[in-house]
């Protein structure tokens, strides 16, 4: 016996050493495996595969060397969350092949393997049921290399005295129907209303003599008051109370435990063949409360008796080596060590046999008394693995990996193509369907996605940098709930009751080292990850287009050196005094400016604005306006700190769902950092959040979001915001990473285990902020080298005409003579000290803000040099103090940006010798485009366009009531303040323009008056009239194509009445006799009333050039928002 046990120890531990290689070739890439089939099991147990079954799988049994047969997969088990040292691809099962020694699979030969259905305990998720799928699939293959085999060890027919004759067995009943708070990965079965009582019967055969049965039920409640459950068996009862819920707790369970599991009711019972238990829920008068049963179990010592049927068991004793004695054995009796792949079989003819087993902390065993039969489906028995792994390994190492479903491959390929062409990344699309096939036998499992990422990461030399999860997710993996829009699943915490300690996290997919996977405080992210959240193809295309627009050079501008902080006001209540919210955010803003002085900060502290009472509660309309204007002008980042929820930011809803979805600032999309609660929770498909709408807005909102998906503590939010900013703005260097990479670095520095997972990056993980690098310096003042200008003479006075010369310098301070492009120059008046108003409490915060912008101009840069002329407005603050001058320059292709600032000039006083100017500016006003004629017709959301000219320039500082103002229908109480939208012409401060969207105007006649002032405070105004016509139904106003006649390609221009909407477009080309030769359907976002990106290359469906002649085209537009459509026909000529 000792020799057999020694050999056994050597085999188990020796095999583990051999198998613990970090990375093995994926079986699909192993050329020694030549053919694949798939089958399933319906029960957990030892399964027998016969020659006949192999033939039914369409395997060429006569050609197979049985020694090469392999079985892969974990069946109905969930893949482990916690990582081992080896990279798991497809799990290979240890099998026994009887009769394989002769190299031929004969009629009497068969295969034995341990197959798992969806009914085995999972310690990581504390459930008997698979969270992700209800199937139990396996792969079988053969080839030229030998497969993994279990060690069959013959037992003894004379077990020693003291051998264990019974073992721990658990019978259970569990269903997964309800998730109490729509969060976490705990699900519940039976739901109880007040005083509801239910009976449950558990079969408990072969209880060992002299032992008891432990019956336990795991329960919970969603009651706001104290509720209770009562477990009754016969005359025995156990009742436990459950504490009520709160704002942060959505469910509760009893505080008692059994088997280290919380929330358990427990009753010991005498031995019986079955147990009938009764559960009663009492809501304590709260009729809206419900109770829930997770599972009910009976655990006891069960006889190891072959006549009593097969079962899985564990051993109560933790002795490392133990002997078992199995009674009533037969030819199909065996004991399978599930952790060691060792099978103990009885000697021939023995009716009782003993075996020695190795026992670990969580060792499981299976007593088999009769073999089970696998099943297959004829339509899916043959498996032809996709070639995506082969293709990936043949390419250069992947640096950008996008994972989505097959449904959205087209949209994903568009983004990946952009990443390849614009960012130069080695980018690839892989679908979850491909991953599941290769890593979890075609069954959904989040660990399969993680295992694939790990395999790719290590097999390609750690080159992977970005993981993009392309699509929405859900708390409901199995899509039990209606309208579930999950595309790519995510990790959910086991804690399912707390809005602060439960979380979802994509960090799971990029924690790739041994022992990681449970998302502890020690787990570290190896790859930057981001998720682009959408539910359908239209939303997907919008988000991809936003990324392309954001990274298009045409949309880069002076807003690239601006960032904004937005704070909640200071509320005070019984348990809350959050004055620190605005204080810490203000300090963070000042620190960012100190670290990156080229950045211009806008501070929007809500408590510094008047609070207005309304029917829906207190509001801050001026805060909403200030934020909307800042976004329209452009800002790289909006950093919000304060309270919030799924419906908006702050109790006063300074950003709500309506604002989030209707903001309009195309191309100027900021990163939103929202350190708040649940603002961007996107895993509950029944309740869209304001954060989702902000991100999915097609013409405004966010390009990305570092946002919270659950509740966060204020102190944690403060710490996280500081650390994130350090990496996002690259303190101390100019090595700017992507947003997702900055969050990865920050999270690896965060210390908390749960709260840091609440922070999510929503967006493309490779996307970077357009932060300019330094340096730009002033070289001349009014033609004089700056070094020759005395410090006392470096002053800007009101009405001064100033010419500043500057130069583009490199990091070494050397003039960049090869830099040609444009530079934007902004001049700000002195800093202003402001105070909050204490709207909701008496505390006041003093803070510094940028002074008013007195000038913004655009100048040409030639050979690294530039010059800009302007006039200082008359109504600046005449007190003398330091001005701020800010620069941002772009090369001629706008692929490179350089920034700088200067605080070496004072501003104040007035030039009393300035030339007299009494003439106001010239103003021209248009709607939608410059072909507008006064009195014309427009649709309800036209673009206001204004051109200005004045010899001394336009006053855009807005001092002393001298704002650029548009007034609609003489409504003086609600003017449009347009200072921030004005910009001067290139190299000419005397001319300028602005564009501003007028949204949702009422039908009928209107007037609009535009009033502006020049820098000498001379006013002018211009009034136009117009009629808004109905645009509720889509109308095509006109279509033309150019060129016409067509040679190689023509572009169609479609004028319509539904701007800022995603439209369905279909173009068809016909011969004059009505034969359709080409068509194309796709979605187009029309930012204005004109679509100008529809093309035809003068070919047929087959790609052949059409003959010369006349053709008919039709263009159809469909508006899903108005549920309307229109069609237009015309003719074109092909030469």
pLDDT tens sequence across 308-317: 999 999 998 8
Distance of CA 221 to the CA centre of its chain: 31
* pLDDT for 13 beyond 60: no
Q: Which of 773-777, 865-869, 1003-1007, 1032-1036 has the lowest mean pLDDT?
A: 1032-1036
Q: Predicted confidence band at 746 (pLDDT cuts at 50, 70, 90)? A: very high
Whether residue 114 is contained in a domain is answered as yes
CATH number at residue 828: 2.60.40.1940
pLDDT value at residue 12: 37
Distance CA 1069, CA 1098 (A): 9
Q: Predicted confidence band at 442 (pLDDT cuts at 50, 70, 90)? A: very high
pLDDT digits 0-9 by tens, 648-689: 999 999 999 999 998 989 899 999 999 898 899 999 999 999
Distance CA 535, CA 522 (A): 33
Percent of the chain with pLDDT over 90: 85
Q: What are phi and psi of 66, to 5 degrees?
A: -60, -20
pLDDT digits 0-9 by tens, 794-846: 999 999 999 999 999 977 789 999 999 999 999 999 999 999 999 988 789 99
pLDDT value at residue 7: 38
Whether omega before 116 lies within 30 degrees of 0, making that bond cis, reads no
- Identify the CA nearest to 805 among candidates 719, 865, 759, 890: 865
Distance CA 844, CA 834 (A): 10
Whether residue 574 is contained in a domain is answered as yes
pLDDT value at residue 1122: 82
Whether residue 546 is contained in a domain is answered as no
* pLDDT for 761 beyond 60: yes
pLDDT value at residue 199: 98
The whole domain housing 992 covers 922-1028
Q: Predicted confidence band at 1106 (pLDDT cuts at 50, 70, 90)? A: very high
* pLDDT for 950 beyond 60: yes
Residues 719 and 842 in one domain: no
CATH number at residue 241: 2.60.120.1200
Q: Are 889 and 898 in contact (CB under 8 A)?
A: yes
Distance CA 342, CA 114 (A): 11
When comparing pLDDT for 516 and 929, which is higher?
516
When comparing pLDDT for 403 and 958, which is higher?
403
* pLDDT for 928 beyond 70: yes
Whether residue 337 is contained in a domain is answered as yes
Residue 597's Cβ-side half-sphere holds a number of Cα atoms within 13 Å equal to 9
pLDDT value at residue 21: 39
Q: Are 955 and 853 in contact (CB under 8 A)?
A: no
* Length, in residues, of the chain: 1135
Residues 345 and 255 in one domain: no
When comparing pLDDT for 1110 and 17, which is higher?
1110
Q: DSSP letters along 737-748, please?
A: --HHHHHHHHHH
When comparing pLDDT for 339 and 74, which is higher?
74
pLDDT value at residue 578: 81
- The pLDDT of 465-472, averaged and rounded, is 98
Whether residue 16 is contained in a domain is answered as yes
pLDDT value at residue 512: 97
When comparing pLDDT for 8 and 921, which is higher?
921
Beta strands 637-641 and 671-675, pairing class: parallel
pLDDT value at residue 576: 61
Q: What is the DSSP letter of 975?
A: P
Whether residue 916 is contained in a domain is answered as no
Residues 625 and 766 in one domain: yes
pLDDT value at residue 426: 98
Distance CA 569, CA 844 (A): 11
* pLDDT for 895 beyond 90: yes
Whether residue 942 is contained in a domain is answered as yes
When comparing pLDDT for 492 and 5, which is higher?
492
pLDDT value at residue 1084: 84
Distance of CA 846 to the CA centre of its chain: 37
Q: Predicted confidence band at 71 (pLDDT cuts at 50, 70, 90)? A: very high
pLDDT value at residue 573: 64
Q: DSSP letters along 304-345, please?
A: -BGGG--EEEB-S---SEEEEEEBS--TT-EEEETTTTEEEE
Task: Name the domain boundary from 904, 930, 964.
Answer: 904
Q: What is the DSSP letter of 108?
A: T
- The pLDDT of 738-742, averaged and rounded, is 98
pLDDT value at residue 1030: 81
pLDDT digits 0-9 by tens, 78-134: 999 999 999 999 999 999 999 999 999 999 999 999 999 999 999 999 999 999 999
Task: Name the domain boundary from 743, 771, 799.
Answer: 771
Residues 623 and 671 in one domain: yes
pLDDT value at residue 271: 96
To the nearest 5 percent, what fractions of the chain are helix, strand and coil? Answer: 20, 40, 45
Residues 667 and 740 in one domain: yes
pLDDT value at residue 1110: 94
pLDDT digits 0-9 by tens, 848-864: 999 999 999 999 999 99
CATH number at residue 610: 3.40.50.1460
Residues 844 and 699 in one domain: no
Query: CB neighbours (10 Å) of residue 216?
Result: 26
* Total domains present in the chain: 6
- The pLDDT of 949-953, averaged and rounded, is 97
* pLDDT for 19 beyond 60: no
Residues 788 and 669 in one domain: no
- The pLDDT of 215-244, averaged and rounded, is 97
**Torsion angle of C-alpha atoms 57, 61, 63, 69, degrees rounded to 10:** 80
CATH number at residue 1103: 2.60.40.2550
* pLDDT for 1067 beyond 70: yes
pLDDT value at residue 453: 98
Residues 83 and 154 in one domain: yes
Q: What are phi and psi of 103, to 5 degrees?
A: 75, 10
pLDDT value at residue 402: 98
> What separation, in Å, do the N-terminal and C-terminal C-alpha atoms of the chain show?
94
* pLDDT for 2 beyond 80: no
CATH number at residue 1013: 2.60.40.650
pLDDT value at residue 628: 93
3-state secondary structure of 1131: strand
- The pLDDT of 348-367, averaged and rounded, is 94
Distance CA 256, CA 253 (A): 9
Residues 793 and 877 in one domain: yes
Angle at 485 between CA 482 and CA 488, to 5 degrees: 135
pLDDT value at residue 1062: 81
* Gyration radius of the chain over CA positions: 36
Residues 281 and 310 in one domain: no
Whether omega before 1043 lies within 30 degrees of 0, making that bond cis, reads yes
- Identify the CA nearest to 350 among candidates 166, 165, 162, 159: 159
pLDDT digits 0-9 by tens, 1109-1133: 999 999 999 988 788 999 999 999 9
* Mean per-residue pLDDT over the chain, rounded: 93
Task: Name the domain boundary from 984, 1005, 1028.
Answer: 1028
* pLDDT for 468 beyond 90: yes
Residues 194 and 318 in one domain: no
- The pLDDT of 1057-1082, averaged and rounded, is 89
Q: Which helix (H) or strand (E) holds 589?
A: helix 580-595
Whether residue 410 is contained in a domain is answered as no
480-to-176, 178, 182, 476 alpha-carbon distances in Å: 9, 9, 12, 7
pLDDT value at residue 11: 36
Q: Are 69 and 92 in contact (CB under 8 A)?
A: no
pLDDT value at residue 4: 40
pLDDT digits 0-9 by tens, 145-170: 999 999 999 999 999 999 999 999 99
Distance CA 339, CA 8 (A): 13
Residues 249 and 212 in one domain: yes
pLDDT value at residue 608: 97
Q: Predicted confidence band at 318 (pLDDT cuts at 50, 70, 90)? A: confident
């Amino acid at each position: 016996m000792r020799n057999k046990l020694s050999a056994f120890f050597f085999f188990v531990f020796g095999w583990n050493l051999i198998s613990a290689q970090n990375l093995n070739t994926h079986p699909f890439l192993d050329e020694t495996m030549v053919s694949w089939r798939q089958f399933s099991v319906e029960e957990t147990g030892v399964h027998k595969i016969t020659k006949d079954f192999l033939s039914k799988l369409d395997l060429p049994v006569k050609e197979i060397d049985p020694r090469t047969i392999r079985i892969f997969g974990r069946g109905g088990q969930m893949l482990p969350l916690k990582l081992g040292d080896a990279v798991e691809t497809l799990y290979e099962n240890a099998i026994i092949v009887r009769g394989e020694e002769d190299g031929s699979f004969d009629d009497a030969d068969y295969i034995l393997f341990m197959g798992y259905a969806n009914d085995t305990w999972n310690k990581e998720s504390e459930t008997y049921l698979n969270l992700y799928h209800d199937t139990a699939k396996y792969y079988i293959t053969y080839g030229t290399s030998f497969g993994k085999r279990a060690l069959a060890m013959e037992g003894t027919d004379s077990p020693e005295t003291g051998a264990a004759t019974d073992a721990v067995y658990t019978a259970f009943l569990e269903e997964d129907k309800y998730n109490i708070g729509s969060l976490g990965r705990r699900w519940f079965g039976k739901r109880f209303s007040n005083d509801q009582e239910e009976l449950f019967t558990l079969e408990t055969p072969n209880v060992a003599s002299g032992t008891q049965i432990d019956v336990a039920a795991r329960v919970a409640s969603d009651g706001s008051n104290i509720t209770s459950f009562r477990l009754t068996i016969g005359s025995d009862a156990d009742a436990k109370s459950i504490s009520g819920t709160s704002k942060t707790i959505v469910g509760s369970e009893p505080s008692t435990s059994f088997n280290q599991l919380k929330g358990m009711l427990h009753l010991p019972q005498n031995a019986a063949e079955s147990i009938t238990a009764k559960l009663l829920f009492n809501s304590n008068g709260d009729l809206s409360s419900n109770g829930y049963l997770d599972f009910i179990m009976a655990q006891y010592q069960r006889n190891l008796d072959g006549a009593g049927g097969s079962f899985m068991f564990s051993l109560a004793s933790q002795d490392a080596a133990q002997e078992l004695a199995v009674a009533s054995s037969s030819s199909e009796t065996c004991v399978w060590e599930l952790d060691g792949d060792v099978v103990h079989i009885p000697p021939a003819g023995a009716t009782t046999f003993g075996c020695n087993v190795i026992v670990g902390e969580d060792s499981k065993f299976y007593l088999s008394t009769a073999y089970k039969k696998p099943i297959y489906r004829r339509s899916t028995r043959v498996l032809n693995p996709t070639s995506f792994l082969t293709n990936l390994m043949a390419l250069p190492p992947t640096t950008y990996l996008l994972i989505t479903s097959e449904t959205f491959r087209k949209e994903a390929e568009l983004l990946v193509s952009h990443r390849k062409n614009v960012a130069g990344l080695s980018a690839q699309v892989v679908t979850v369907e491909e991953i599941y096939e290769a890593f979890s036998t075609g069954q959904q499992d989040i660990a399969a996605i993680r295992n694939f990422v790990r395999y790719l990461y290590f097999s390609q030399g750690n080159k992977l940098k970005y993981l993009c999860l392309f699509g929405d997710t859900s708390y409901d993996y199995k899509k039990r709930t209606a309208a579930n829009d999950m595309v790519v699943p995510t990790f959910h915490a086991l804690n399912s009751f707390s809005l602060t300690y439960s979380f979802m996290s994509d960090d799971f997919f990029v924690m790739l080292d041994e022992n990681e996977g449970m998302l502890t405080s020690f787990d570290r992210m190896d790859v930057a990850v981001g998720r682009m959240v959408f539910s359908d193809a239209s939303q997907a295309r919008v988000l991809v287009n936003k990324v392309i627009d954001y990274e298009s050079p045409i949309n880069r501008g002076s807003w690239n050196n601006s960032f904004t902080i937005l704070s909640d006001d200071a509320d005070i209540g019984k348990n809350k005094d959050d004055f620190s919210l605005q204080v810490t955010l203000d300090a963070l803003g000042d620190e960012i400016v100190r670290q990156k002085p080229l950045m211009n900060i806008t501070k929007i502290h809500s408590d510094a604005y008047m609070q207005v009472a309304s029917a829906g509660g207190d509001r801050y309309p001026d805060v909403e306006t200030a934020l909307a204007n800042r976004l329209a002008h452009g800002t790289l980042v909006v950093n919000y700190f304060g309270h919030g929820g799924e419906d908006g930011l702050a109790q006063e809803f300074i950003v709500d769902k309506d604002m989030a979805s209707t903001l309009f600032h195309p191309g100027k999309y900021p990163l939103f950092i929202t350190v708040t609660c649940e603002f961007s929770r996107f895993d509950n498909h029944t309740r869209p959040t304001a954060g989702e709408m902000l991100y999915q807005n097609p013409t405004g909102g966010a390009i990305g979001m570092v946002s919270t998906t659950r509740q966060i503590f204020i102190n944690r939010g403060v710490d996280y915001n500081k650390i994130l900013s350090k990496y996002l703005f690259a303190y101390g260097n100019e090595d700017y990473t992507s947003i997702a990479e900055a969050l990865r670095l920050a999270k690896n520095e965060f210390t908390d285990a749960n709260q840091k997972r609440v922070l999510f990056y929503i967006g493309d993980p490779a996307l970077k902020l357009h932060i300019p690098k330094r340096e730009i310096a002033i070289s001349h003042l009014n033609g004089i080298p700056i070094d020759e200008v005395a410090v006392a003479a470096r002053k800007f006075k009101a009405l001064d005409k100033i010419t500043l010369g500057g130069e583009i310098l490199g990091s070494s301070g050397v003039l960049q003579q090869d830099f040609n492009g444009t530079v934007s120059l902004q001049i700000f008046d002195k800093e202003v000290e402001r105070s909050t108003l204490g709207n909701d409490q008496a505390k006041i915060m003093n803070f510094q803000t940028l002074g008013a912008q007195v000038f913004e101009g655009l100048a040409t840069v030639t050979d690294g040099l530039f010059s800009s002329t302007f006039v200082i407005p008359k109504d600046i603050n005449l007190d003398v103090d330091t001005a701020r001058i800010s620069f941002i320059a772009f090369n001629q292709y706008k692929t490179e940006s350089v920034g700088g600032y200067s605080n070496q000039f004072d501003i104040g006083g007035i030039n009393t010798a300035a030339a007299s100017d009494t003439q106001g500016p010239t103003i021209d006003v248009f709607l939608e485009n410059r072909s507008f004629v006064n009195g014309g017709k427009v649709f309800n959301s036209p673009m206001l366009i204004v051109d200005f000219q004045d010899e001394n320039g336009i006053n855009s500082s807005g001092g002393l009531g001298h704002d650029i103002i548009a007034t609609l229908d003489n409504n003086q109480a609600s003017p449009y303040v347009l200072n921030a939208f004005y910009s001067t012409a290139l190299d000419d401060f005397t001319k300028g323009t602005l564009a501003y969207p007028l949204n949702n105007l009422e039908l009928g006649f209107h007037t609009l008056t535009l009033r502006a002032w020049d820098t000498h405070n001379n006013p002018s105004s211009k009034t136009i009239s117009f009629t808004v016509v109905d645009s509720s139904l889509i109308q095509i106003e006109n279509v033309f194509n150019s060129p016409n006649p067509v040679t190689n390609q023509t572009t169609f221009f479609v004028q319509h009445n539904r701007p800022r909407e995603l439209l369905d477009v279909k173009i068809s080309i016909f011969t004059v006799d009505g034969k359709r030769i080409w068509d194309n359907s796709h979605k187009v976002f029309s930012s204005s009333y004109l679509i100008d990106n529809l093309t035809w290359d003068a070919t047929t469906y087959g790609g052949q050039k059409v003959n010369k002649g006349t053709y008919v085209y039709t263009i159809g537009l469909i508006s899903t928002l108005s549920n309307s459509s229109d069609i237009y026909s015309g003719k074109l000529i092909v030469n």
